[in-house]
Amino acid sequence: MIQLEDTTDTDEKVIGQDVLEKINSQDKQELLGLLNEFILQTYKIEKEFKDYKALYEWVIEILPQAIWVINNGGSFFYKNTLANQIEIIFQEAKKQDFSGEVDYDEKTYLFQSNSIQNKQIVTAMDITLQKRQERLASMGRVSAHLAHEIRNPVGSISLLASTLLKRVDNASKPIVFEIQKALWRVERIISATLLFSKGVSIQKSACNLNDLKDDLEEAIEQYTYTKQIDFLFDFGMQEAFFDLNLMGIVLQNFVYNAIDAIEEGEESRGWVKVDVNIYKEQIVFRIADNGKAVENKNLLFEPFKTTKLKGNGLGLSLSLQIVEAHGGSIELLEDREKVFEIKIPNSI
Protein backbone atom coordinates (compact mmCIF):
# COMPACT_ATOMS: atom_id res chain seq x y z
CA MET A 1 0.00 0.00 0.00
CA ILE A 2 1.37 3.44 -0.90
CA GLN A 3 1.26 6.55 1.26
CA LEU A 4 0.73 10.13 0.18
CA GLU A 5 3.50 12.36 1.45
CA ASP A 6 3.34 16.08 1.95
CA THR A 7 6.13 18.22 0.46
CA THR A 8 7.18 21.75 1.05
CA ASP A 9 6.84 22.56 -2.63
CA THR A 10 3.10 22.71 -3.45
CA ASP A 11 3.86 22.50 -7.21
CA GLU A 12 5.22 18.98 -6.71
CA LYS A 13 2.14 17.70 -4.84
CA VAL A 14 0.07 15.20 -6.77
CA ILE A 15 -2.95 16.13 -4.66
CA GLY A 16 -3.07 19.48 -2.84
CA GLN A 17 -3.37 19.61 0.98
CA ASP A 18 -6.62 21.56 0.76
CA VAL A 19 -8.13 18.82 -1.41
CA LEU A 20 -6.99 16.09 0.94
CA GLU A 21 -8.61 17.87 3.91
CA LYS A 22 -11.97 17.84 2.13
CA ILE A 23 -11.78 14.02 1.41
CA ASN A 24 -13.04 11.76 4.15
CA SER A 25 -11.09 8.71 5.35
CA GLN A 26 -13.09 6.19 3.32
CA ASP A 27 -12.52 8.14 0.10
CA LYS A 28 -8.84 8.44 0.87
CA GLN A 29 -8.59 4.66 1.27
CA GLU A 30 -10.39 4.14 -2.04
CA LEU A 31 -8.09 6.66 -3.73
CA LEU A 32 -5.01 4.95 -2.32
CA GLY A 33 -6.35 1.62 -3.53
CA LEU A 34 -6.83 2.98 -7.04
CA LEU A 35 -3.33 4.43 -7.04
CA ASN A 36 -1.88 1.11 -5.89
CA GLU A 37 -3.77 -0.70 -8.65
CA PHE A 38 -2.50 1.84 -11.18
CA ILE A 39 1.11 1.32 -10.07
CA LEU A 40 0.73 -2.47 -10.15
CA GLN A 41 -0.66 -2.30 -13.69
CA THR A 42 2.28 -0.06 -14.65
CA TYR A 43 4.73 -2.66 -13.32
CA LYS A 44 2.84 -5.38 -15.17
CA ILE A 45 2.97 -3.45 -18.46
CA GLU A 46 6.67 -2.74 -17.94
CA LYS A 47 7.35 -6.46 -17.34
CA GLU A 48 5.39 -7.44 -20.47
CA PHE A 49 7.33 -4.86 -22.47
CA LYS A 50 10.64 -6.30 -21.23
CA ASP A 51 9.45 -9.84 -22.01
CA TYR A 52 8.42 -8.86 -25.54
CA LYS A 53 11.72 -7.03 -26.02
CA ALA A 54 13.66 -10.11 -24.86
CA LEU A 55 11.60 -12.34 -27.17
CA TYR A 56 12.17 -9.93 -30.07
CA GLU A 57 15.93 -9.92 -29.46
CA TRP A 58 15.96 -13.72 -29.08
CA VAL A 59 14.21 -14.13 -32.44
CA ILE A 60 16.75 -11.81 -34.07
CA GLU A 61 19.61 -13.78 -32.49
CA ILE A 62 18.47 -17.12 -33.92
CA LEU A 63 18.03 -15.76 -37.45
CA PRO A 64 20.73 -17.08 -39.86
CA GLN A 65 21.64 -13.50 -40.74
CA ALA A 66 23.91 -10.85 -39.37
CA ILE A 67 21.88 -7.70 -38.69
CA TRP A 68 23.01 -4.12 -38.19
CA VAL A 69 20.61 -1.23 -37.47
CA ILE A 70 22.34 2.08 -38.15
CA ASN A 71 21.28 5.59 -37.04
CA ASN A 72 21.32 8.58 -39.40
CA GLY A 73 24.63 9.72 -37.97
CA GLY A 74 26.30 6.39 -38.68
CA SER A 75 26.29 5.07 -35.13
CA PHE A 76 24.90 1.63 -34.40
CA PHE A 77 21.41 1.38 -32.94
CA TYR A 78 21.57 -2.43 -32.73
CA LYS A 79 23.78 -5.38 -33.76
CA ASN A 80 23.13 -9.08 -33.21
CA THR A 81 25.81 -11.61 -32.27
CA LEU A 82 26.49 -12.70 -35.85
CA ALA A 83 27.04 -9.08 -36.82
CA ASN A 84 29.66 -8.69 -34.09
CA GLN A 85 31.44 -11.83 -35.29
CA ILE A 86 31.88 -10.61 -38.88
CA GLU A 87 32.51 -6.93 -38.24
CA ILE A 88 35.52 -6.92 -40.58
CA ILE A 89 33.31 -8.17 -43.45
CA PHE A 90 30.88 -5.33 -42.70
CA GLN A 91 33.66 -2.84 -43.44
CA GLU A 92 34.37 -4.57 -46.77
CA ALA A 93 30.67 -4.49 -47.69
CA LYS A 94 30.49 -0.80 -46.82
CA LYS A 95 32.77 -0.06 -49.78
CA GLN A 96 30.07 -1.35 -52.13
CA ASP A 97 27.11 0.24 -50.30
CA PHE A 98 26.05 -3.01 -48.62
CA SER A 99 24.79 -4.48 -51.87
CA GLY A 100 25.65 -7.83 -53.46
CA GLU A 101 28.11 -10.56 -52.58
CA VAL A 102 31.29 -10.15 -50.56
CA ASP A 103 34.01 -12.84 -50.53
CA TYR A 104 36.18 -13.06 -47.45
CA ASP A 105 38.32 -15.83 -45.92
CA GLU A 106 36.96 -18.51 -48.30
CA LYS A 107 33.37 -17.59 -47.49
CA THR A 108 30.73 -15.66 -49.44
CA TYR A 109 28.18 -13.32 -47.85
CA LEU A 110 25.13 -11.75 -49.48
CA PHE A 111 24.51 -8.20 -48.23
CA GLN A 112 21.21 -6.30 -48.47
CA SER A 113 20.21 -2.87 -47.19
CA ASN A 114 16.87 -1.18 -46.45
CA SER A 115 15.79 2.06 -44.78
CA ILE A 116 12.99 2.14 -42.21
CA GLN A 117 11.99 5.05 -39.90
CA ASN A 118 15.18 7.04 -40.46
CA LYS A 119 17.33 3.99 -39.80
CA GLN A 120 19.30 1.80 -42.17
CA ILE A 121 18.96 -1.95 -41.72
CA VAL A 122 21.81 -4.02 -43.18
CA THR A 123 21.69 -7.82 -43.34
CA ALA A 124 24.31 -10.37 -44.37
CA MET A 125 23.74 -14.08 -45.01
CA ASP A 126 26.43 -16.73 -45.40
CA ILE A 127 25.75 -18.27 -48.85
CA THR A 128 29.03 -20.21 -49.06
CA LEU A 129 27.29 -23.60 -49.16
CA GLN A 130 24.82 -22.42 -51.80
CA LYS A 131 27.63 -21.04 -53.97
CA ARG A 132 29.59 -24.27 -53.49
CA GLN A 133 26.62 -26.36 -54.60
CA GLU A 134 26.10 -24.15 -57.65
CA ARG A 135 29.80 -24.37 -58.51
CA LEU A 136 29.85 -28.16 -58.07
CA ALA A 137 26.75 -28.58 -60.20
CA SER A 138 28.34 -26.51 -62.96
CA MET A 139 31.68 -28.32 -62.69
CA GLY A 140 29.87 -31.66 -62.62
CA ARG A 141 28.04 -30.89 -65.86
CA VAL A 142 31.24 -29.77 -67.59
CA SER A 143 33.19 -32.76 -66.24
CA ALA A 144 30.51 -35.22 -67.35
CA HIS A 145 30.53 -33.73 -70.85
CA LEU A 146 34.32 -33.91 -71.05
CA ALA A 147 34.31 -37.47 -69.70
CA HIS A 148 31.94 -38.60 -72.44
CA GLU A 149 34.04 -36.84 -75.09
CA ILE A 150 37.28 -38.34 -73.80
CA ARG A 151 35.95 -41.88 -73.40
CA ASN A 152 35.67 -42.55 -77.16
CA PRO A 153 39.29 -41.77 -78.12
CA VAL A 154 40.54 -43.53 -74.98
CA GLY A 155 38.62 -46.64 -76.04
CA SER A 156 40.26 -46.49 -79.47
CA ILE A 157 43.74 -46.08 -77.99
CA SER A 158 43.10 -48.98 -75.61
CA LEU A 159 42.10 -51.20 -78.52
CA LEU A 160 45.19 -50.20 -80.47
CA ALA A 161 47.40 -50.87 -77.43
CA SER A 162 45.96 -54.39 -77.10
CA THR A 163 46.65 -55.02 -80.79
CA LEU A 164 50.17 -53.60 -80.47
CA LEU A 165 50.87 -55.87 -77.49
CA LYS A 166 50.38 -58.93 -79.70
CA ARG A 167 52.80 -57.69 -82.36
CA VAL A 168 55.76 -56.21 -80.48
CA ASP A 169 58.75 -58.17 -79.22
CA ASN A 170 59.24 -59.01 -75.56
CA ALA A 171 61.66 -56.10 -75.03
CA SER A 172 58.94 -53.60 -76.04
CA LYS A 173 56.05 -55.17 -74.13
CA PRO A 174 56.77 -53.33 -70.83
CA ILE A 175 56.26 -50.04 -72.70
CA VAL A 176 52.86 -51.19 -73.95
CA PHE A 177 51.95 -52.37 -70.45
CA GLU A 178 52.67 -48.85 -69.13
CA ILE A 179 50.47 -47.40 -71.87
CA GLN A 180 47.66 -49.72 -70.80
CA LYS A 181 48.12 -48.74 -67.17
CA ALA A 182 47.89 -45.06 -68.09
CA LEU A 183 44.75 -45.73 -70.13
CA TRP A 184 43.26 -47.67 -67.23
CA ARG A 185 43.93 -44.71 -64.96
CA VAL A 186 42.21 -42.33 -67.41
CA GLU A 187 39.23 -44.69 -67.66
CA ARG A 188 39.06 -44.83 -63.87
CA ILE A 189 38.97 -41.02 -63.65
CA ILE A 190 36.24 -40.90 -66.30
CA SER A 191 34.16 -43.49 -64.44
CA ALA A 192 34.58 -41.67 -61.12
CA THR A 193 33.59 -38.36 -62.72
CA LEU A 194 30.44 -39.79 -64.27
CA LEU A 195 29.50 -41.58 -61.04
CA PHE A 196 30.03 -38.41 -59.01
CA SER A 197 27.98 -36.35 -61.49
CA LYS A 198 24.92 -38.60 -61.62
CA GLY A 199 24.97 -39.54 -57.92
CA VAL A 200 25.45 -42.79 -56.05
CA SER A 201 22.81 -45.50 -55.79
CA ILE A 202 23.85 -48.53 -53.72
CA GLN A 203 22.76 -52.13 -54.18
CA LYS A 204 23.55 -54.13 -51.04
CA SER A 205 23.96 -57.88 -51.05
CA ALA A 206 25.70 -60.57 -49.00
CA CYS A 207 29.39 -60.33 -49.95
CA ASN A 208 32.54 -62.09 -48.82
CA LEU A 209 35.10 -59.65 -47.45
CA ASN A 210 37.85 -61.58 -49.17
CA ASP A 211 36.35 -60.61 -52.55
CA LEU A 212 37.18 -56.99 -51.66
CA LYS A 213 40.77 -58.03 -51.03
CA ASP A 214 41.01 -59.75 -54.43
CA ASP A 215 39.62 -56.70 -56.23
CA LEU A 216 42.01 -54.43 -54.36
CA GLU A 217 45.07 -56.51 -55.20
CA GLU A 218 44.07 -56.58 -58.87
CA ALA A 219 43.58 -52.79 -58.89
CA ILE A 220 47.03 -52.22 -57.32
CA GLU A 221 48.63 -54.16 -60.20
CA GLN A 222 47.22 -51.52 -62.57
CA TYR A 223 48.62 -48.59 -60.54
CA THR A 224 52.01 -47.09 -61.30
CA TYR A 225 54.47 -46.27 -58.49
CA THR A 226 58.24 -46.23 -58.12
CA LYS A 227 59.04 -47.04 -54.48
CA GLN A 228 59.08 -50.41 -52.80
CA ILE A 229 55.75 -50.73 -50.96
CA ASP A 230 54.53 -53.56 -48.74
CA PHE A 231 50.77 -54.16 -48.75
CA LEU A 232 49.46 -55.78 -45.57
CA PHE A 233 45.81 -56.85 -45.92
CA ASP A 234 43.69 -58.53 -43.25
CA PHE A 235 40.14 -59.06 -44.54
CA GLY A 236 39.17 -62.52 -43.35
CA MET A 237 36.54 -64.76 -44.91
CA GLN A 238 33.46 -63.30 -43.23
CA GLU A 239 30.32 -62.29 -45.07
CA ALA A 240 28.67 -58.90 -44.71
CA PHE A 241 26.05 -56.74 -46.42
CA PHE A 242 27.31 -53.92 -48.64
CA ASP A 243 27.66 -52.89 -52.28
CA LEU A 244 30.74 -54.84 -53.41
CA ASN A 245 31.54 -52.72 -56.48
CA LEU A 246 31.13 -49.37 -54.76
CA MET A 247 33.00 -50.30 -51.58
CA GLY A 248 35.74 -51.65 -53.86
CA ILE A 249 36.01 -48.17 -55.37
CA VAL A 250 36.22 -46.67 -51.86
CA LEU A 251 39.10 -48.91 -50.78
CA GLN A 252 40.90 -48.42 -54.09
CA ASN A 253 40.73 -44.64 -53.68
CA PHE A 254 42.14 -44.77 -50.15
CA VAL A 255 44.92 -47.20 -51.09
CA TYR A 256 45.83 -45.10 -54.15
CA ASN A 257 46.00 -42.04 -51.92
CA ALA A 258 48.24 -43.97 -49.52
CA ILE A 259 50.54 -44.96 -52.41
CA ASP A 260 50.72 -41.35 -53.61
CA ALA A 261 51.49 -40.18 -50.05
CA ILE A 262 54.36 -42.68 -49.86
CA GLU A 263 55.64 -41.58 -53.27
CA GLU A 264 55.69 -37.95 -52.08
CA GLY A 265 57.01 -38.79 -48.59
CA GLU A 266 60.55 -38.99 -47.31
CA GLU A 267 60.62 -42.73 -46.54
CA SER A 268 62.53 -44.83 -49.09
CA ARG A 269 60.28 -47.84 -48.46
CA GLY A 270 56.59 -47.71 -47.70
CA TRP A 271 53.80 -49.83 -46.27
CA VAL A 272 50.03 -49.77 -46.55
CA LYS A 273 47.84 -51.63 -44.06
CA VAL A 274 44.17 -52.42 -44.66
CA ASP A 275 42.11 -54.43 -42.20
CA VAL A 276 38.41 -55.11 -41.89
CA ASN A 277 36.48 -56.14 -38.77
CA ILE A 278 32.81 -56.73 -38.07
CA TYR A 279 31.55 -55.53 -34.69
CA LYS A 280 27.96 -56.67 -34.13
CA GLU A 281 26.04 -54.75 -36.81
CA GLN A 282 28.89 -52.55 -38.02
CA ILE A 283 31.70 -53.07 -40.53
CA VAL A 284 34.90 -51.15 -39.76
CA PHE A 285 37.63 -50.60 -42.36
CA ARG A 286 40.99 -49.11 -41.38
CA ILE A 287 43.57 -47.92 -43.90
CA ALA A 288 46.99 -46.81 -42.63
CA ASP A 289 50.28 -45.88 -44.33
CA ASN A 290 53.68 -44.36 -43.57
CA GLY A 291 53.48 -41.76 -46.31
CA LYS A 292 53.30 -37.99 -46.27
CA ALA A 293 50.98 -36.53 -43.63
CA VAL A 294 47.69 -34.87 -44.58
CA GLU A 295 48.43 -31.22 -45.34
CA ASN A 296 44.94 -29.75 -45.19
CA LYS A 297 42.15 -31.72 -43.52
CA ASN A 298 39.57 -29.23 -44.80
CA LEU A 299 40.32 -30.22 -48.41
CA LEU A 300 40.24 -33.99 -47.84
CA PHE A 301 36.71 -34.54 -49.12
CA GLU A 302 36.33 -31.37 -51.17
CA PRO A 303 35.66 -32.33 -54.81
CA PHE A 304 37.99 -31.05 -57.56
CA LYS A 305 40.52 -29.89 -54.95
CA THR A 306 43.68 -31.79 -54.13
CA THR A 307 47.11 -31.18 -52.62
CA LYS A 308 48.57 -34.26 -54.38
CA LEU A 309 50.71 -34.20 -57.47
CA LYS A 310 48.41 -36.79 -59.08
CA GLY A 311 44.62 -36.97 -59.22
CA ASN A 312 41.70 -34.65 -59.85
CA GLY A 313 40.41 -34.40 -56.28
CA LEU A 314 37.38 -36.63 -56.84
CA GLY A 315 38.57 -39.86 -55.21
CA LEU A 316 37.92 -39.18 -51.53
CA SER A 317 34.88 -37.00 -52.29
CA LEU A 318 33.29 -39.86 -54.22
CA SER A 319 34.32 -42.28 -51.45
CA LEU A 320 32.55 -40.16 -48.85
CA GLN A 321 29.47 -40.05 -51.07
CA ILE A 322 29.46 -43.86 -51.34
CA VAL A 323 30.03 -44.42 -47.61
CA GLU A 324 27.29 -41.96 -46.66
CA ALA A 325 24.95 -43.69 -49.14
CA HIS A 326 25.60 -46.83 -47.09
CA GLY A 327 24.67 -44.87 -43.96
CA GLY A 328 28.27 -44.76 -42.76
CA SER A 329 31.05 -42.30 -41.92
CA ILE A 330 34.76 -41.63 -42.53
CA GLU A 331 37.16 -40.31 -39.91
CA LEU A 332 40.86 -39.46 -39.99
CA LEU A 333 42.55 -40.84 -36.86
CA GLU A 334 45.93 -39.31 -36.14
CA ASP A 335 47.63 -40.76 -33.12
CA ARG A 336 50.92 -42.56 -33.66
CA GLU A 337 50.22 -43.13 -37.35
CA LYS A 338 47.88 -41.84 -40.02
CA VAL A 339 44.74 -44.00 -40.12
CA PHE A 340 41.48 -43.57 -41.99
CA GLU A 341 38.55 -45.33 -40.33
CA ILE A 342 35.46 -46.15 -42.38
CA LYS A 343 32.31 -47.39 -40.68
CA ILE A 344 29.21 -48.70 -42.43
CA PRO A 345 26.22 -50.62 -41.02
CA ASN A 346 26.16 -54.36 -41.66
CA SER A 347 22.51 -54.60 -42.66
CA ILE A 348 20.34 -54.98 -45.74
> pLDDT means per 10 residues in the chain (348 residues)?
45 59 72 82 82 70 84 86 86 85 85 88 88 74 76 85 87 86 78 73 89 89 89 89 90 92 91 91 93 82 64 76 92 83 90
Question: Phi, psi (5° rounding) for residue 261?
Answer: -65, -35
CA distance 304 to 188: 15
Phi/psi of residue 129, nearest 5 degrees = -65, -40
27 to 24, 36, 63, 116, 207: CA distances (angstroms): 5, 14, 54, 50, 95
Compute, in degrees rounded to 10, the torsion defined by CA atoms 99, 100, 102, 108.
140
Q: Are strands 228-234 and 282-289 parallel, antiparallel or unpaired?
A: unpaired
Distance in angstroms (rounded) separating the CA atoms of residues 113 and 97:
8
The radius of gyration of the chain from alpha carbons, rounded to an integer in Å, stands at 36
Task: Return all residues near 136 (Cβ < 8 A) that are at least 6 apart.
Answer: 303, 304
Cα–Cα distance list, 183 to 189, 269, 271, 323 (Å)? 10, 27, 26, 27
Give the pLDDT of residue 285: 95
Output the CA–CA distances (angstroms, integers) from residue 145 to 32, 138, 157, 184, 185, in the order listed. Answer: 86, 11, 19, 19, 18
